[in-house]
Amino acid sequence: MQDNETGHETSVGEMRKNRETMADGRRYIIYYTFENTAETTTETKPSDLNLKTEERENV
């Protein structure tokens, strides 16, 4: 794939996400927001599922 990761300067800022539990207490909901900041994405880690590799991002 192309290497240019920063060449496309759009008006859309960095993606951030916030994971919460829904009102029924069992399902999750993830809010995605895009702001003109350089903050990294954050998300609550799961506790009951195995991931294939440690390198992959937590769900």
Partner 1 sequence: MSELRWNPLSGEWLATATVRQDRTFLPPKDFCPLCPTAPGGFPTEIPASDYDIVVFENRFPSLSPNPPEPAIAGDDFYAVGRSFGQCEVVVYTPNHNLSLAQEPVEQIYKLVQVWTDRFRDLSAYEFIKHVFIFENKGEAIGVTLNHPHGQIYAYPFIPPKVERQLEQARKHSSETGRNLFDDIIAAEKKDGRRIVAENDSFIAYIPFFARYPYETHVTAKHNAPDMSGFSKDEQANLAEILKQILTAFDRLFDVSFPYIMALQQAPADGANYEFYRFHIEFYPPMRTATKLKYLAGSESGAGMFINDTLPEEKAAELRTHVEPVIWQK
| 53 contributes a contact to partner 1 by CB under 8 A | yes
| 39 contributes a contact to partner 1 by CB under 8 A | no
Q: Which distant-in-sequence residues (6+ apart) come within 8 Å of 35 by Cβ?
A: 13, 14, 16
| 59 contributes a contact to partner 1 by CB under 8 A | yes
Beta bridge partners of 17: 32
Q: Are 30 and 15 in contact (CB under 8 A)?
A: no
For partner 1, give the closer residue by CB, 29 or 39: 29
Residues that bind partner 1 in the complex, under the rule CB under 8 A: 1-12, 15, 17, 22-24, 27-34, 41, 48-53, 56-59
